[in-house]
Amino acid sequence: MTDARPPFPPFDLDDALAKVQAAEDAWNTRDPHRVALAYTEDSAWRNRDVFLTGRPEIVRFLTAKWERELDYVLRKSLWGFRENRIAVRFQYEWHDVAGQWFRSYGNELWEFADNGLMRRREASINDVRIDEADRRYFGPRSPDERGPGHDIPLA
């Protein structure tokens, strides 16, 4: 894997949409090592109340996350962008070991280095208990669910 991840800033609309979809696709693999490669070696994160720096910490964090958040499936939606920054809304569903399902709602702020790797990620997330019958997401997006017209709902 190279230390460059196109598209590169400054982003236009197509670039920003591509970055968001690539992030969604990577996170839906639930592979911490693959996901971490999209971030700079010294990437700084705030995820809820957790602050971390660097790929090794990102891998440890994501490994623990996906051991706790079972059958995780994610949707991301572009909120806005300019130059080397992108704002994203997201929702993901998962269940705990007891079988309780949750939908997690959040926003992320991303800042990219010139090589297209993310050097800063700030995530605010809230979890809502849901019944299994209320799930909306059952796997990664299919090709016909991508692009304009396939935004995620507010609630």
pLDDT value, residue 8:
98
State how far Cα 146 lies from the chain centre.
Answer: 16
pLDDT tens-digit map of 56-88: 999 999 999 999 999 999 999 999 999 999 999
Q: What is the DSSP string of 39-76?
A: EEEEEEEEETTEEEESHHHHHHHHHHHHHHSEEEEEEE
Band of residue 52 on the pLDDT scale cut at 50, 70, 90:
very high
Percent of the chain scored above 90 by pLDDT? 91
pLDDT value, residue 2:
64
Q: Are 55 and 47 in contact (CB under 8 A)?
A: no
Cis-peptide into 10, omega within 30 deg: yes
